[in-house]
């Protein structure tokens, strides 16, 4: 691949010239894709992270000050974007879990998404595993049954059991929070 001077790549991207953006993208594609693969669950998600990361790079390219390498700066910008996407995904999953547990806004407002992750560690491992596969990964009960070599009825039971236990844990924690505040 042809080598370009960093200053030419950066200035071309600052001018929003597609040819320079494409050159920068192609030059750093593989290395940044590998970074995205470390944080993603599949190739599709890695590509989505990569493209959103490069979009952020192009939006912020005028902030590159030529202090250090362009590659290091790009990697830092993309990694920050990946972490933002993962936080957003986790927050969405937590909201979905709270909705599934039929918690009112008052019941889950003191909780953060880290608290939900903590409560998941308190569940029996088999129920927590099935619950994660069902809600976080989007598998159907039939897919979970095949994956874990259990029946779909057992998968449904684990999800119901996890929901019931989580609801109780969260309600207990909220009572504790209210007692501390009062």
Question: Domain holding 156: CATH number?
Answer: 1.10.10
Which own/partner pairs from 171-179 qualify as long-range (CB within 8 Å, at least 24 positions apart)?
171/107, 173/110, 173/111, 173/115, 173/119, 174/107, 174/108, 174/110, 174/111, 177/110
Show the low-confidence residues of the chain (pLDDT under 50): 107-114
User: In whole angstroms, what is the distance from residue 116 CA to residue 94 CA?
Assistant: 7
Q: Is residue 22 part of a domain?
A: yes
User: In whole angstroms, what is the distance from residue 37 CA to residue 42 CA?
Assistant: 7
CA angle 68/48/141 to nearest 5° reads 140
For 130-152, write each residue's pLDDT tens digit: 888 887 777 889 988 888 888 99
For 56-72, write each residue's pLDDT tens digit: 999 999 999 999 899 99
Query: What is the reported pTM?
Result: 0.53
- Answer for the pair 129, 86: CB distance below 8 angstroms, yes or no: no
* Number of domains forming the structure of the chain: 2
Both 113 and 161 in one domain: the answer is yes
Both 126 and 76 in one domain: the answer is no
Can you give the residue range of the structural domain that contains 77?
Answer: 6-88
Both 142 and 77 in one domain: the answer is no
CATH code assigned at 56: 1.10.1740.10
Q: Is residue 177 part of a domain?
A: yes
Q: Is residue 95 part of a domain?
A: no
């Amino acid at each position: 691949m042809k080598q370009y001077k960093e200053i030419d790549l950066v200035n071309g991207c600052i001018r929003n010239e597609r040819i320079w953006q494409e050159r920068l993208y192609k030059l750093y594609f593989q290395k940044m894709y590998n970074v995205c693969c470390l944080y993603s669950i599949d190739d599709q998600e890695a590509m989505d992270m990569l493209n959103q990361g490069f979009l952020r790079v192009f939006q912020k390219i005028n902030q590159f000050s030529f202090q250090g390498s362009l590659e290091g700066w790009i990697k830092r910008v993309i990694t920050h974007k990946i972490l933002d996407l993962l936080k957003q995904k986790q927050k969405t999953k937590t909201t979905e879990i709270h909705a599934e547990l039929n918690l009112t806004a008052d019941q889950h407002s003191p909780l953060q998404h880290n608290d939900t992750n903590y409560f998941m560690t308190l569940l029996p491992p088999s129920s927590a595993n099935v619950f994660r596969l069902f809600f976080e990964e989007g598998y159907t009960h039939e897919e979970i049954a095949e994956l874990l070599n259990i029946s779909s009825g057992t998968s449904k039971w684990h999800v119901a059991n996890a929901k019931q236990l989580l609801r109780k844990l969260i309600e207990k924690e909220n009572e504790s929070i209210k007692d501390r505040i009062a």
